[in-house]
Amino acid sequence: MDQSEKARQFHALHVKGTPLVLYNIWDAGSAVAVVKAGAPAVATGSWSVAAAQGFQDGEAVPLDVVEQVAGHIAGAVEVPVSIDFEGGYAEAPDAVAQNIARIVGAGAIGINFEDQVVGGDGLYGIEAQCARIAAIRSRAETLGIPLFINARTDLFLKQPDRSRHAEILDEAKQRAAAYQDAGASGFFAPALVDETLIADLCAAAALPVNIMMMGGVPTIERLAELGVARVSHGPGPYRRAMATLTDEAGKVYAAASA
């Protein structure tokens, strides 16, 4: 299966009510393990990739390293590979598009692309973010890849008071519609946990909606009933894997010193 076919397959996996479940990975080894477990596709989480390389999240990992990791993953598995590309490692649309071309060149068929200003304050305005998404779409078309652009809004992440999430749902809907018009393929709303709000967003958005598993989020079965089309696990898999590694290593060293 060539890269374009993998991209089309990835698009087809996003079905409202029958969500694509992604147990996020961070390198080639974790990708192989998750595929062996039955995953039809794999996706990185930026926090996990950064931690695995000894960096903080927020584009602290050099772009060259992200490109290399993407290439290693794509070369290790036959399933579609999506890369969490944060804010695109640039602000200007043309610069973002050039960076995306490097990730596509490494073998990725999808990206997460967020609207927070990485290293700055707040979110990009809708018009500015749409220009960035449109530039990515244009470059992907030039490359001949129907790239899955999972447009992430950080509206809910930036508002830690979940009781106020209903107040910003209308802006989320507005962003979903605008991002779709700009060329996005999906809409990612991490930190949105309320069932009623999730259902409302899924009903309003024409794009497939992605919800991230975290404390307070309904079960995957319930998310399917609410109309979610993609469920991701973010940094959870990496954190659990590292906790297990630390625990097992602790047992070895405790026994060795007994």
Which homologous superfamily is 3-256 in?
Answer: Phosphoenolpyruvate-binding domains (3.20.20.60)
Long-range pairs for 213-221: beta carbons < 8 A, 24 or more residues apart: 214/190, 216/162, 217/193, 218/193, 220/19, 220/21
- Average pLDDT (58-64) is 96
Please write the tens of the pLDDT for every residue from 171-188: 999 999 999 999 999 999
In contact, 182 and 138? CB cutoff 8 Å: no
Which of these, 126, 96, 138, 127, lies nearest to 113 by C-alpha position? Answer: 96
Q: Kindly state the tokens that stand for 185.
A: 């393929």
pLDDT attached to residue 30: 98
CA-atom Rg of the chain in angstroms: 18
How does the average pLDDT of the chain come out, rounded? 97
- Average pLDDT (12-28) is 98
Euclidean distance between CA atoms 11 and 183, whole angstroms: 13
Question: pLDDT category, 258, cuts 50, 70, 90?
Answer: confident
Whole-angstrom distance between the N-terminal and C-terminal Cα of the chain? 53
- Average pLDDT (92-97) is 98
- Average pLDDT (253-258) is 92
Phi, psi of 215 (to 5 degrees): -55, 130
Q: Kindly state the tokens that stand for 91.
A: 């602000």
Please write the tens of the pLDDT for every residue from 207-249: 999 999 999 999 999 999 999 999 999 999 999 999 999 999 9
Residues 6+ apart with CB under 8 A from 213: 220, 231, 232, 233, 234, 236
Please write the tens of the pLDDT for every residue from 112-156: 999 999 988 899 999 999 999 999 999 999 999 999 999 999 999
> Is the model's pLDDT at 1 over the cut of 90?
no
pTM: predicted TM-score of the whole model, two decimal places:
0.97
Phi, psi of 82 (to 5 degrees): -115, 140
> Is the model's pLDDT at 104 over the cut of 90?
yes
